[in-house]
Amino acid sequence: MRHRAGIFLGLAAALGQPAALAAQEAPAPASVWRSWNQLDASWIDLQLHITAMLDGAFFSQNAANVEQVGDLGPRKEFRLENLELDGQLLAPFPWRFQIAAEYDGADQKNGQRGWSLSDLNVSIPLGRFCAVTIGNQSEGVTLERLASSEDLSFMERSTMSSALTIPRNTGVRFTGTAAGQRINWSAGWYNGWLTNVYSFSESGNVVNARVAGLPVDSGDGRRLVHLGVWGSWAEAQAGAAHTRSRPEVYEAPYFVDTGSYPSDHGTALGFELAAVHGPVTLTAEYTKGKTDAAQVGDPSFSAWYVQGSWALTGETRPYNRSGGYFGQLQPFCPFTFKYGGPGAFEAAVRYSWIDLDSKAVRGGKFDRISGALSWFATGEWRVEFNYGYGRLERFGLSGRTHFYQLRLQWEI
């Protein structure tokens, strides 16, 4: 949750009256700036979110990996990962809208530097348990992809989510909950022709759906089990398929890459598992994708990861019941220079694996074991260190790489 500071907007109407009576008699203001980045009015709520990151990465490669991907020297990058305006038009069933852009954002859609539009959508309630979102948005599949990149236990998503799922697309998505928000579901149709260089027919249609639930739920989020499944069908853009992924380092080149090959469409199926017990969170996902591409033998690809995190200071990662994913850790006792406070510390470990070798397509195999240590000084400031050891099998070579990653993150 974002920290909000209240502001007094009026004075007592007359001297000598009790403060409580003056407060009762004073008319309610038409609008209130609850903090500099949030406006509450009688007909609209607005909130500005900003996430800025300063990343650094260092690599230690063997000779085979240098031959595979080149010599990787120290890298650093400033990323304005999120500049977002959220709001809702107030009514018995409020309409919500979202406008967001990124500078060198985490989703790596095209590898180009500069600004990109990440979200532009409006969400309209259809009764009490269902809503429709129209515009550029998350496609709504995978536990890891649905969470904001700044809220993850690691600096980057796994190779699975980066390669086999689409981050955002333009379309129509229906979402809802059932059983007291113990079940959530999503179904959508997408075509990205408004935000890419292709025509409507070249962009290809995408249809997907996801359902997730909590068979175990303590109610307060400190003990739960999450199960989820999703599937998608996607036409190839401009008649070609292309799958690739970085090694969970934004500043690195693509380690596994199928290149472009003729294709008609592809399908994917994914499974999710998560469990929370107090400060410990365990997650795992598996995705299997198959491409209808007769010229290269209809290849199929697979990827998975398993991850565990532990809040050393006792906090629990919040679970979003309407969307079925995890949010950012919030410290019980934020750090301040005046009063002290430890903030929150979290340690995490992850193993990820991806295989893009199938039939005539040789995109490579890559796995990585990683550790992370984060200090959430406050709800706005975070310092993080990641270490990873990766193995790349490609071009008949066995590459080995040590990854060292640092991040300073600020958000409101």
Output the pLDDT for position 224: 97
Output the pLDDT for position 397: 98
Q: What is the 3-state secondary structure (H, E, C) of the chain?
A: CCCCCCCCCCCCCCCCCCHHHHHHHCCCCCEEEEECCEEEECCEEEEEEEEEEEEEEEEEECHHHHHHHCCCCCEEEEEEEEEEEEEEECCCCCEEEEEEEEECCCCCCCCCCCEEEEEEEEEEECCCCEEEEEEEEECCCCHHHHCCHHHCCCCCCCHHHHHHCCCEEEEEEEEEEECCCCEEEEEEEECHHHCCCCCHHHHCCEEEEEEEEEEEECCCCCEEEEEEEEEEEEECECCEECCEECCCCCCCCCCEECCCEECCEEEEEEEEEEEEECCEEEEEEEEEEEEECHHHCCCEEEEEEEEEEEECCCCCCCEECCCCEECCCCCCCCCECCCECCCEEEEEEEEEEEEEEECCEEEEEEEEEEEEEEEECCCCEEEEEEEEEEEEEECCEEEEEEEEEEEEEEEC
43-411 maps to CATH 1.10.287.130: no
Output the pLDDT for position 2: 40
Domain regions of the chain by residue span: 43-411
- Prediction pTM value: 0.88
Output the pLDDT for position 196: 83
Report, as ranges of residue numbers, the positions in the chain whose pLDDT lies below 70.
1-31, 33-34, 104-113
Output the pLDDT for position 33: 66
Output the pLDDT for position 114: 72
